[in-house]
Amino acid sequence: MKTSRRKFIQSSAVLASMAGISTLQAQEKKITKPIVISTWNFGVSANAEAWKILSKSGRALDAVEAGVHVPEADPTINTVGYGGLPDRDGRVTLDACIMDEHANIGAVACLEYIVHPISVARKVMEKTPHVMLVGDGALQFALANGFKKENLLTKESEQAWKEWLKKAEYKPLVNIENHDTIGMIALDARQNLSGACTTSGMAYKMHGRVGDSPIIGAGLFVDNEIGAATSTGVGEEVIRICGSHLVVELMRQGNTPQQACELAVKRIVNNQPEKSKEMQVGFLALSKNGELGAYALQKGFTYSVYSNEVPNKIFESKSYY
């Protein structure tokens, strides 16, 4: 297990250099609005979609929703939306949440059969007195609001699940093929922040398991006075520290986004020193002034940035280990 993980990390480092992944330079850390940032390499195509809205002075909320639609609909991405790896019973269950500049929030968890859970989350936010719908209730709500019921389990994901069933061991991998949950944060031309987070969750989880991604304060948090944060990795550990809310509150106390992400990761290490060596958690943060931060437990966490100064580039975050 250790050797294959090391090999994987080495090969992803090679791939990263081939893809032109760099470390954020000082001059790139302070970026003018609008800006969109998102987790992992697949953030590049998602950011490009969000940028179409941001560059025309559109609203950050619309940008993040449109942006994360890209990986949600992509069957080759097996960690988000259509094509996501199923739970241990072979069911693809999706988690998503969205938050705008007015602290409006919406979320769905354990939602099946709908390609764009982020848009269902937005409908929960805009059309109901609630902030989160789960399971069958979320599906019924989606269908009643015009979403189509579709099979989300691709042949490839079904094959991978059948392979997994042979041993049926639940062991989350670090940095699944360099894409995982997509968390996206945008700061628009009016200097308003919004965020979206969407995932198929940990592959082969127990049916009904919900991670950090749809939990406001864990997988995503936006405070339009201060900044916003999002997370990826083992959701249980992010929930344990109310991760994204913690990052934003640390920024409120005067820490830079980078310092805030580092402090949050260190809190996970302090909670679980041994466990933290074997798993991945990454945080990505953006301040109201366009300052960025990113930090992860393990090497290999990448994120994508699109602004006027940084036309859609991938960066590798620093890590604790």
Catalytic residue, from 39, 79, 93, 181: name it: 181
CB-based burial of residue 28 (10 Å sphere; 0-12 exposed, 13-18 middle, 19+ buried)?
A: middle
Query: What is the rounded distance in angstroms from the CA atom of residue 225 to the CA atom of residue 252?
Result: 9
Nearer to ligand SD4, 28 or 236 (CB): 236
> Which residues in the 225-244 window bind ligand SD4 by CB under 6 A?
232-235
Among 101, 212, 223, 249, contact with ligand SD4 (rule: CB under 6 A) = 212
Angle between helices 117-127 and 135-144 (to 10 degrees): 80
Per residue in 177-204, is it b (16+ CB within 10 Å) or e — as a string? bbbbbbbbbbbbeeebbbbbbbbbbbbb
Torsion region of 249: left, alpha or beta (phi above 0 gives left; psi -120 to 50 gives alpha)? alpha
Assess 317 for contact with ligand SD4 (CB under 6 A): no
Among 211, 227, 257, 300, contact with ligand SD4 (rule: CB under 6 A) = 211
Among 49, 65, 72, 180, contact with ligand SD4 (rule: CB under 6 A) = 180
Only one of the segments 128-136, 198-206, 244-252, 260-268 lies at the binding site for ligand SD4 (rule: CB under 6 A); that segment is: 198-206
Residue 181 falls in the annotated catalytic set: yes
Q: Which amino acid is residue 59, in one-letter code?
A: R
Q: Which tokens sit at 118? A: 């982020």
Nearer to ligand SD4, 39 or 192 (CB): 39
- What's the closest the beta carbon of residue 234 comes to ligand SD4, in angstroms? 6
Half-sphere exposure of 238 (CA within 13 A, CB side): 34
Handedness of CA 19, 23, 27, 32 (dihedral sign): positive
Nearer to ligand SD4, 71 or 233 (CB): 233
Assess 157 for contact with ligand SD4 (CB under 6 A): no
Assess 181 for contact with ligand SD4 (CB under 6 A): yes
Query: What is the rounded distance in angstroms from the CA atom of residue 62 to the CA atom of residue 83?
Result: 24
Assess 201 for contact with ligand SD4 (CB under 6 A): yes
Assess 78 for contact with ligand SD4 (CB under 6 A): no
Among 199, 255, 276, 287, contact with ligand SD4 (rule: CB under 6 A) = 199
Handedness of CA 217, 223, 272, 11 (dihedral sign): positive
Among 44, 54, 61, 202, contact with ligand SD4 (rule: CB under 6 A) = 202
Interface contacts to ligand SD4, rule CB under 6 A: 180-181, 199, 201-202, 211-213, 232-235
Indicate which residues carry an active-site annotation.
181
